[in-house]
């Protein structure tokens, strides 16, 4: 089967057709890299190996006097020394625009849902984009609704904020993302599924998201079996698509599952390019890539990209380097705990450990006071939990704890929310107020 043609705009097609064709040859392939002699190209450009027979795209990662080092965007098997190589003369082009809504794309931006070809319905842009300058960015001041009560009130998110969802494996990160995708009031949702299991992707699209969830959504998928460079690109492709919507003045919700697997893809790419492993096997390029990717989200001069990134904390170790780096870049974190998941408390959000750095900017003071009160009650209860469990707590010794114990069932009911349920924010605030004022 031949892979779909490289997406090109008419102009670039014409330019390529007008320029003289020079063919190079593959001179070696090892690990994830291959060397090409005989053609000139810039770092970041794409070349095509075996253009006439079994085309395989590769990206130029290093250039020498007359030799290119490239990384394939596909599998290298079957590529032999002497195979012809054509320079495409440009970097990867990404489709952007309205026609992408409802579509599922692969890591390089090619449709994989069997729908009509994108061709002229979309615009094509370079993957590389200008990150908005810090001073041209508007401030995060308006709330963005997720439809999840615990988040909208106690960990409120602002348009243009970037939040991490931190959790161990199987604690409900992907399910929470799906719930948010359906419940949010963002104009456009862009989902990047990076390095996930293939089986899960279908489940996510068909069961969790459903047709109504898909309508205002663009999905970019690179499963775990894809080459590392494709997985890495997928994260940037999803972000680039979100940026184009933002630049039209839209409020975009960008959901990335997961940033950890994106970092792992960068690790494979870095190590195979000869970088030394530095922190726990991660080469330095991983820690350079993360801010580059995450800084692209946020507000622009117009519009906003609210970024939600899942972070896998291995062995529930929240100080693992990727989690640590993500936490330092992002403007808030939602922590999911296994303790809650195992007792069937979903979404398993550990409210007291979760923080939104923009909460006070997006929530009016009276509601903020209610939220603070709930946190205070939950905190009081947490502090004496062990005493209560061993029967050492005397009722009446602390009025705050007594009140928290009385209200605990109501707070539980407020925090737990079935997958298929979405609560409008005013309703969530009214519910919270009833608990606090009872
Ligand atoms: N809101 C929910 N209601 C009921 N069950 C849930 C909910 N969220 C998660 N679960 C349960 O937890 C399981 C794992 O959820 P999910 O796949 O979302 O976790 P994850 O953190 O994304 O896992 P992984 O690390 O493997 O990607 C689900 O199969 C489901 O049984
Ligand atoms: Mg998951």
pLDDT digits (tens, 9 = 90+) for 130-171: 777 777 777 878 899 999 999 999 999 999 999 999 999 889
362 phi, psi to nearest 5 deg? -110, -5
Provide the pairing of β-strand 304-312 with 251-257.
parallel
299 is written with which tokens?
A: 């507000």
CA end-to-end distance (rounded Å), the chain? 66
Ligand 1 binding pocket mutation candidate from 146, 169, 170 (most atoms within 8 A of CB): 170
Ligand 1 binding pocket mutation candidate from 148, 149, 165, 172 (most atoms within 8 A of CB): 172
Q: For the chain, what percentages of helix, strand and coil (3-state, to nearest 5) are there?
A: 40, 25, 35
Cα–Cα distance, 225 to 198 (Å, whole number):
8
pLDDT at 4 over 80: no
For the CA of 420, the nearest ligand: 1
pLDDT at 1 over 50: no
346 lines ligand 1 (CB under 6 A): yes
175 lines ligand 1 (CB under 6 A): yes
Please tell us whether the domain made up of 18-91 is placed in CATH 2.40.10.170: yes
Cα–Cα distance, 91 to 137 (Å, whole number):
27
What percentage of the chain carries pLDDT values higher than 90?
49
> What's the CATH code, domain 367-437?
1.20.1270.330
245 is written with which tokens?
A: 């919507």
Reference 255, options 222, 203, 210, 219; nearest CA is: 219
Q: Find residue 57's DSSP bridge partners.
A: 48
Nearest-CA residue for ligand 1 atom 15 is 172
172 lines ligand 1 (CB under 6 A): yes
CATH 1.20.1270.330 residue spans of the chain: 367-437
What percentage of the chain carries pLDDT values higher than 70?
95
Lowest mean pLDDT among 64-68, 108-112, 289-293, 372-376: 64-68
CATH 2.40.10.170 residue spans of the chain: 18-91
What CATH topology corresponds to 96-362?
A: Rossmann fold (3.40.50)
221-257: per-residue pLDDT in tens?
Answer: 999 889 999 999 999 999 999 999 999 999 999 999 9
Q: How many Cβ atoms are within 10 Å of 178's Cβ, its own excluded?
A: 23
Q: CB–CB of 293/311 below 8 Å?
A: no
* Packing angle of the helix pair 399-415, 425-437 (nearest 10 deg): 160
Name the CA radius of gyration of the chain, rounded. 24
Q: Average of pLDDT values for 180-189?
A: 90
CATH 3.40.50.12240 residue spans of the chain: 96-362
């Amino acid at each position: 089967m031949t892979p779909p043609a490289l997406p090109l705009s008419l102009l670039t097609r014409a330019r390529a057709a007008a320029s003289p064709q020079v063919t190079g040859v593959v001179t070696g392939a090892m690990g994830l890299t291959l060397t090409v002699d005989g053609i000139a190209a810039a770092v970041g450009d794409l070349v095509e190996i075996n253009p006439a027979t079994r085309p395989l795209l590769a990206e130029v990662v290093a250039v020498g006097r007359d030799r290119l080092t490239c990384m394939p965007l596909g599998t290298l098997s079957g590529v032999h020394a002497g195979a012809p190589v054509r320079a495409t003369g440009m970097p990867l082009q990404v489709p952007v625009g309205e026609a992408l809504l409802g579509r599922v794309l692969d890591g390089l931006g090619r449709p994989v849902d069997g729908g009509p070809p994108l061709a002229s319905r979309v615009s094509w842009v370079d993957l590389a984009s200008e990150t908005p300058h810090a001073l041209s960015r508007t401030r995060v001041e308006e709330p963005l609704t997720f439809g999840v009560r615990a988040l909208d009130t106690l960990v409120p998110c602002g348009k243009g904020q970037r939040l991490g969802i931190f959790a161990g494996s199987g604690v409900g990160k992907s399910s929470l993302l799906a719930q948010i995708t359906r419940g949010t009031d963002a104009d456009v949702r862009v989902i990047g599924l990076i390095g996930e299991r293939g089986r899960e992707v279908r489940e996510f699209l068909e069961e969790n998201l459903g047709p109504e969830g898909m309508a205002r959504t663009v999905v970019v998928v690179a499963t775990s079996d894809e080459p590392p460079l494709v997985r890495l690109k997928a994260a940037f492709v999803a972000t680039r698509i979100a940026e184009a919507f933002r630049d039209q003045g839209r409020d975009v919700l960008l959901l990335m599952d997961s940033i950890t697997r994106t970092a792992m893809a960068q690790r494979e790419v870095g190590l195979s390019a000869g970088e030394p492993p530095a922190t726990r096997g991660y080469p330095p390029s991983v820690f350079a890539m993360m801010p580059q990717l995450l800084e692209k989200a946020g507000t622009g001069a117009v519009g906003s990209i609210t970024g939600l990134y899942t972070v896998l904390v291995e062995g529930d170790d929240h100080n693992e380097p990727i989690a640590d780096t993500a936490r330092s870049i992002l403007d808030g974190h939602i922590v999911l705990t296994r303790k809650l998941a195992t007792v069937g408390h979903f979404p398993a959000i550990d409210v007291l450990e979760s923080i939104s750095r923009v909460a006070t900017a997006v929530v009016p003071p009276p509601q903020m006071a209610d939220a603070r009160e709930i946190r205070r009650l939950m905190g009081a209860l947490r502090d004496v939990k062990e005493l209560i469990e061993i029967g050492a707590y005397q009722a009446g010794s602390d009025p705050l704890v007594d009140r928290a114990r009385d209200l605990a069932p109501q707070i539980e009911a407020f925090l737990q929310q079935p997958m298929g349920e979405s609560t409008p924010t005013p309703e969530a605030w009214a519910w919270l107020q009833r608990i606090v004022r009872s």
